[in-house]
Amino acid sequence: MRRIIKVFEEAAASYDDWYSRPIGVYAFRSELRGLEALLPSSGVGVDVGAGTGVFAEQLSTEERSLVCLDLSPNMLREAGRRRLPSILASAESLPLRRECLEFAYMVTVLEFLPNPLKALQSVGAVLKDDAPLVILMINRDSPWGDHYAKLAEKGHPIFSNARLYTLDEVSSLLEKAGYEIAETAGTLTAPPDGPEQECKLVPFRRGVGVILVKARKTPCK
């Protein structure tokens, strides 16, 4: 985990540059559209693995308040420049009261966690009953998954530390962590070498570059 933190620490200052490139603009707009569709329009939530706060900044409104959580001080320093409240902490051990949040989300975070099951359980503990967790993940079985796998093979400092998942694998993790899946969707319908202007959100289908999963804690019986 220290190695991964170091990688993100070193990348913090230039991390958002990717979002100014055509491929990054397409990805960001598409993923933001997906998050807007699945997250509640109001309440207090946490962006787990928030990084520089690039998504939290856009998702914060008068009705929807967000706290950024990350293990990289340099990343959170960038989030601070966006005037976003931040907590330096691990996803596997959230320093928050039990059942205090209306929602939580993760954007390409599971891919870098050494213990994703423990992280999902930790997030579940701070969610109120029926409060959703939205996971945005790179689909391993897609052109985008292939793209990032090739970057990893070439020694990319970030993606060489990533583990990509399929929907079935994440569904299994969520079930073990005590969640039920409420909704799934897909985006990045165009390949990385041909980004489009239109950002589509579609029902999950084979080949979409990003999968969004909305889950809730399994009710106690």
Q: What is the pLDDT, as a whole number, of residue 110?
A: 96
- Which residues face 211 on adjacent strands? 137, 186
Percent of the chain's residues with pLDDT above 90: 86
What token pair was written down for 135?
């996971």
Residue-averaged pLDDT of the chain: 94
Query: Between vectors from CA 85 to CA 81 and to CA 89, what angle results, nearest 5°?
Result: 105
Q: How confident is the model at residue 220 (pLDDT cuts 50, 70, 90)?
A: low
Residue 11: name the closest of 159, 138, 144 by CA.
159
Does pLDDT of 56 surpass 90? yes
Pairing, β 179-187 against β 210-217: antiparallel
Mention every residue, 6+ apart, whose C-beta is less than 8 A from residue 41. 61, 63, 64
- Considering only residues 206 and 216, tell me which one the structure prediction assigns the higher pLDDT: 216
Domains delineated in the chain: 2-217 (3.40.50.150)
